Amino acid sequence: MEKLQQGTTAFRRANFALFAGGFITFSILYDVQPLLPIFTKEFDVTAATGSLTLSVTTFTLAISMLFISSISEAWGRKPIMSVSLLLSSLIVIITAFSPTFSSLLGFRILQGIVLAGLPAIAMAYLGEEVDPKSLGIAMGIYISGNSIGGMAGRIITGSITDLFSWRVAMGSIGIISLILSLWFCFHLPNSRYFSPKPLKLKTLSKSLIGHLKDPALLCLFCIAFILMGSFVTLYNYIGFELLAPPYHLSQTIVGWIFIVYLTGTFSSTWMGRLSDSLGRKKVLWICLIIMAAGAVVTLAVPLVLKIMGIAVFTFGFFGAHSIASSWVGRRARTAKAQASSLYLFFYYSGSSIAGTAGGFFFSNFGWKGVIGFILCLLLLAFPLSLKLSSVTGNPVQAAN
């Protein structure tokens, strides 16, 4: 049997299904982000504390993915992804009824555990089922689903919150996600190249350690931490900036600013395709420079320039993430799910740690402090990129 190739019906079905899965995951994950200023007022907490509604989810997501990816090596890819999406949709509906900030955090912690099923496995599924020549574009399409989902989640919650309340907005996200989850279950092709392995924790531990011993993969993991840490920090606190003087924007308008995510939809696919022809190393460097440039532009006071800076930053981020994530799938020769889960563990750890730490810089130094923090993170990515480009030879083989 041939692997899924671009232009075939099976390839389109797989990509549309995973696009929907990414949409669900990221709309649920980030639907609270435009609500952070509301949480700080309604529950009387600081900006950094309010950001925990996102950080605790990404943190439990990061940890859970390490275990779920290992379980998928024994139980299969599609069943776990399907259950994850269905349960996540139900939990977000329940979260809308949270009576206190503590209960809200509790549901968001549970949400992170359940959400882990799709992102922990999707990249491994693509790496196994898609022909290597089509992997770049396939990964780009999946990540574009992530970007549109993240954008839609923010826009929907921002708009509906202005009309009704944040609770109605979150419940709406849950209903939409439930419908798409059912569509995912019926349309994703079953795995054809997956070979189940007995669930042996000792062997799986060796597999994870083996990936961490590969210098190229370790560089990619650290870059993932930096990319997501920078990205979430900017989006966590831009709402506070735009709701305050001199802008005084409404919650709806702030939510619609996330439409700049569309630049990520384009860049993830385009940069993925470009990396297939020009080389991943060069295009990754370009994306990091684009992110830094966009961050600097957001320091401008005029609203148009600030939004342009956010768009440029987003364009660079999704391009870099598309390249780095597909690189992990190619570099890992065995236990691909574990390699993907480690990448995402670092990725979401960056979201949790840097995203919350950014609240300290915003509270003490304002928006300039946030951008200074982001630029420091991005500067760390350049030596990692140089190290990555110098790594040669075969990767360290993880134990099976």
Which position has the higher pLDDT, 168 or 391?
168
pLDDT tops 50 at residue 257: yes
Classified as helix, coil or strand, 132 is helix
Please choose, from the candidates 11, 16, 8, 327, the residue with its C-alpha nearest in 3D space to the C-alpha of residue 145. Answer: 16
Q: What is the pTM of this model?
A: 0.80
* DSSP secondary structure code for residue 257 in this structure: G
Please choose, from the candidates 42, 258, 307, the residue with its C-alpha nearest in 3D space to the C-alpha of residue 158. Answer: 258
Could you read off the pLDDT of 289-308 as tens digits, one per residue? 999 999 999 999 999 999 99
> Do residues 111 and 91 make contact, with C-beta atoms less than 8 angstroms apart?
yes
CB-based contacts of 193: which residues, under 8 Å, 6+ apart? 1, 3, 128, 129
pLDDT tops 50 at residue 399: no
| Range ranked top by mean pLDDT from 3-12, 100-109, 111-120, 187-196 | 100-109
The predicted structure's pLDDT at residue 81: 94
For residues 62, 66, 72, 73, the Cα torsion angle rounded to the nearest 10 degrees is 150
| Mean of pLDDT values over 104-108 | 97
Average pLDDT, the chain: 87
Please choose, from the candidates 233, 239, 19, the residue with its C-alpha nearest in 3D space to the C-alpha of residue 147. Answer: 19
Of the listed ranges 93-97, 151-155, 192-196, 381-385, the one predicted with least confidence: 192-196
> Do residues 13 and 188 make contact, with C-beta atoms less than 8 angstroms apart?
yes
Residue with tokens 């419940």: 171
Please choose, from the candidates 181, 184, 313, 235, the residue with its C-alpha nearest in 3D space to the C-alpha of residue 31. Answer: 235
> Do residues 318 and 272 make contact, with C-beta atoms less than 8 angstroms apart?
no
Banded pLDDT at 131 (limits 50, 70, 90): confident
Which position has the higher pLDDT, 246 or 144?
246
CATH architecture of 9-188+203-390: Up-down Bundle (1.20)
Could you read off the pLDDT of 329-370 as tens digits, one per residue? 777 766 676 787 788 889 989 999 999 999 999 989 999 999
| Range ranked top by mean pLDDT from 62-66, 171-175, 395-399 | 171-175
Q: How far apart are CA 41 and CA 100, in angstroms?
A: 13
The b-or-e profile of 63-94 (16+ CB within 10 A means b, else e) is bbbbebbbbbbeebbbebbbebbbbbbebbbe
User: What is the Cα 80 distance to its own chain's centre?
Assistant: 19
Which position has the higher pLDDT, 53 or 154?
53
pLDDT tops 70 at residue 184: yes
Residue with tokens 């009309």: 163
The predicted structure's pLDDT at residue 322: 84
pLDDT tops 80 at residue 254: yes
> Do residues 57 and 115 make contact, with C-beta atoms less than 8 angstroms apart?
yes
| Range ranked top by mean pLDDT from 177-186, 276-285, 343-352 | 177-186
- The end-to-end CA distance of the chain, in Å, is 24
Could you tell me the residue ranges of all domains in the chain?
Answer: 9-188+203-390
Any idea what the Cα angle at residue 100 is, between residues 98 and 104, rounded to 5°? Answer: 50
> Do residues 294 and 309 make contact, with C-beta atoms less than 8 angstroms apart?
yes
CB-based contacts of 218: which residues, under 8 Å, 6+ apart? 212
* DSSP secondary structure code for residue 244 in this structure: S
| Mean of pLDDT values over 98-113 | 96
